[in-house]
Chains A and B, each alone.
Chain A
């Protein structure tokens, strides 16, 4: 169910990016798409009744090969890998977003409009 909502959000963003005429709305559509993907990645690591994957002193035990994390913790914790992926993807989308916004502002400075139907010097 949640996955389907994620996908719906993704399609909504795609629709917005493809159909809208205003540049800022296109950028917003793309941001919605990226957030849908991030949400999807976070959901992949989700487990009901789990704890956050932060190692505390109570989850450590001293075994044969030095200190290790207890098995109980491993069974309880959510998957931390998608969280790392989402962090990376947020950084990437931040870089893209900053660049996109600055290009939008530049285009506004040159053409005086945000409407992509009026920004048509290139054709063919």
Chain B
């Protein structure tokens, strides 16, 4: 996949930052407003897909190497699992919101939902990385019918 014209490249360079920031916003405010880890993660992936379309594959590969992307994917999933398992290890119970009791009673603030924003961040990382990975690998196929890279189906996290 080659890049597009200079106009597209310039606009995409600016728009990419905005889209990325919007994704971060959606993830961080996921427990208060519509959205959350999955929706925000999709927007994060979209910002990189924008780069992929405008600048071509090689550029994106330098910006975000596949190996790193794959590691981010696994780390997101692991972080989510750790948030779920951590209270189980310390005798609380699986998925118990163990941070909630340390917080002041203040509903609808940014820091008010215990582990939920942390889970949202983990899911956002996981969804963003894996969705971009899927789209990137499918775009590799169109060039050389996938003789180079193996695409194994990745399973996006089913918990929201």
Residues on A lying within 8 angstroms of B by beta carbon are 52, 54-57, 60, 66-67, 84, 87-88, 91-92, 94-96, 98-99, 101-102, 105-106, 108-109
Could you mark each residue 117-158 of chain B with 1 if its beta carbon is under 8 Å from any beta carbon of chain A, else 0?
A: 000000000010001001001100100011100010111111
Residue numbers of B with Cβ under 8 A of A are 33-34, 38, 105, 107-108, 127, 131, 134, 137-138, 141, 145-147, 151, 153-160
**Contacts A67-B105, A67-B107, A84-B160 given: A98-B38 contact, CB under 8 Å?**
no
B38 contacts across to A, CB distance below 8 A: 87, 91
A66 is contacted by which of B105, B138, B159 (Cβ under 8 Å)? B105
The secondary structure that dominates the A interface is helix
C-alpha spacing A97/B39, complex, angstroms: 18
B34, A95: Cβ atoms closer than 8 Å: no
Contact A98 B154 (CB under 8 A): yes
- The interface centre, meaning the residue of A92, A94, A98, A105 with most chain B CB atoms within 10 A of its CB, is A98
Cβ–Cβ < 8 Å partners of B107 in chain A: 60, 67
